Amino acid sequence: MANLLRGNDLRALGFPEGRAIGLALAQLQRKHLKKLSQTDQLALLGQLIAHPNDYLTDLDWSHTAAALLPPPDRHIALVERKDYAVFGAEHIEPGAIHQMEIAMKLPVTVAGALMPDAHHGYGLPIGGVLATDNAVIPYAVGVDIGCRMALSVFDLPPRYLAQRTQELRGRLLENTRFGSGRGFERGQRLDHAVLDRPEFREIPFLKNKLDKAAEQVGTSGSGNHFVEFGLVEITDPANELGLPVGQYLGLLSHSGSRGLGAAIAERYTQLAKDVCQLPGEAQHLAWLGLDTAAGQEYWAAMTLAGDYAAACHDQIHRRLAKALGEKPLAKVANHHNFAWKERLADGRAVVTHRKGATPAGAGVLGIIPGSMTAPGFIVRGRGAAASLASASHGAGRLLSRTRAKAELGESQVRQHLADHGIELIGGGLDEAPMAYKDIRAVMASQRDLVDVLGSFTPKIVRMDGA
């Protein structure tokens, strides 16, 4: 079978960032190794990552094995790993655990936690929460800065979804834009106060980003970003939304700061790497001190990107509320992929990075989505100290994008969506419901972190794609 492995597959096994991944992928292209099945290739690489010393004299793998061994000392050494809490460990792949272990060895790390939806990312794993001392780590925030969930609840009955499916489908097509580089046409753009922010003028790097930001405000990215109509069911009569127990029409969106956030992440990650020399396996965790000009500049740019992401959701919901001719009864929204200045339970001041994790402070409301065929949940945080007042940001990936595309078929996914009554616009095999963990198992692993107020079940889903 043809070699389908990619870098993310190796990272999920626990391969550190650096030369080892490239060397291993190149080696797998050799004729006698290329013939191996993907399962056998993964098994071989699993042995290699577990016992690199055993392969130092192997004709095929000596160079990769050497690259897996600890690198020579750099300017900043890692320290003894600090303890951290793991929620739902049985749902978390080894690669994510390995990344969290590295993050807990940074000299600036104070505390950490790993959420049950965790999987491999760049730097900090997605689902990782990291508290640091006066330092911000751009890749512990993430590339899509301020990626966000937003829910509007409308006073429309559940039957509205079934009776007006095609009408609602048309509303999504008319009022949303998806994908890299996409924006609204000039005559259709809406203004927003975030575009008047002084950071666009005062931070040199951002001076040429305003035009693109104005073009893309109110739009969504690719990947797992979506806008969808569905069924909201309120189950807790004491909910802070002021809604009676019952069912409503809901509008849920998930997206971030578009090209603006990605450019900020790339710029300041490279700057952090230049000034914070770490061992190879930790290089993506380079930080900027908040007592430095660079750290303050990143913090201002990150804050702007987060507010820009909120503006995008605000416009999405405004456009669709207007198209429905309805005003929302209630709204809930929350960031993930962001950093906050907070205090731990013992009073220590820290910078809390939540990369793919939902803020869950005591009484704080949020949304934890499932998949296209599984419900998401409206939650109230319990302020658990062990999780650094955090919870999962979704179900989390079960299959990497590469594996999903290789193992799932179009007809299989279409049938699965039809069986669940889902109308899908766009989307791809990498976002198939089967590529995600069981959201109910994930929620069971964080009962101590959040209380459930209600649910959202998708019905009409818009994503990037034809």
CA 240 – CA 152 distance, rounded (Å): 14
Share of the chain above pLDDT 70, in %: 98
Which pLDDT score, from 0 to 100, does residue 360 have? 98
Which tokens hold the place of 305? 């990107």
375 has a pLDDT exceeding 60: yes
Question: pLDDT value at position 81?
Answer: 97
pLDDT (mean) for 418-439: 94
Question: Of 62-71, 155-164, 256-265, which gets the smallest average pLDDT?
Answer: 62-71
Residue 11, pLDDT score: 93
Kindly state the average pLDDT of the residues 172-196.
Answer: 91
- Return the pLDDT at 75: 75
More confident residue, 365 or 402: 365
Residues 322-343 have a mean pLDDT of 97
Q: Which residue has the tokens 């956030």?
A: 261
Is the pLDDT at 1 greater than 50? The verdict is no
Mean per-residue pLDDT of the chain? 93
Strands 376-381 and 349-355: unpaired
- Residue 269, φ and ψ in degrees, nearest 5: -65, -45
The answer to whether the CB of 308 falls within 8 A of the CB of 43 is no
Domain ranges of the chain: 7-68, 148-462
Q: Comparing 26-30, 160-164, 229-233, 306-310, which segment has the lowest mean pLDDT?
A: 26-30
81 phi-psi bin (left φ>0, alpha ψ -120 to 50, beta other): beta
Q: Where are the alpha helices (DSSP H) in 119-246?
A: 138-141, 159-163, 165-175, 199-202, 210-216
Amino acid at 309: A
Burial class (CB in 10 A: 0-12, 13-18, 19+), 236: middle
Q: Which pLDDT value is given to residue 3? A: 57
As a whole number, mean pLDDT of residues 44-63 equals 88
pLDDT at position 262, please?
A: 94
Say if residue 306's pLDDT is above 70.
yes
What does the angle CA 125 – CA 126 – CA 128 come to, to the nearest 5 degrees? Answer: 65
Contacts of residue 117, defined as CB under 8 A and 6 or more positions apart, other chains included, come to 88, 91, 126, 127, 356, 392, 393, 394, 395, 396, 437, 442
Res 103: pLDDT: 98
Q: Does residue 92 have a pLDDT over 50?
A: yes
Check whether 374 has a pLDDT greater than 90: yes
Residue that has been written with the tokens 């290699």 in this structure = 48
Residues recognised as catalytic:
393
In CATH, what class is 148-462? alpha beta
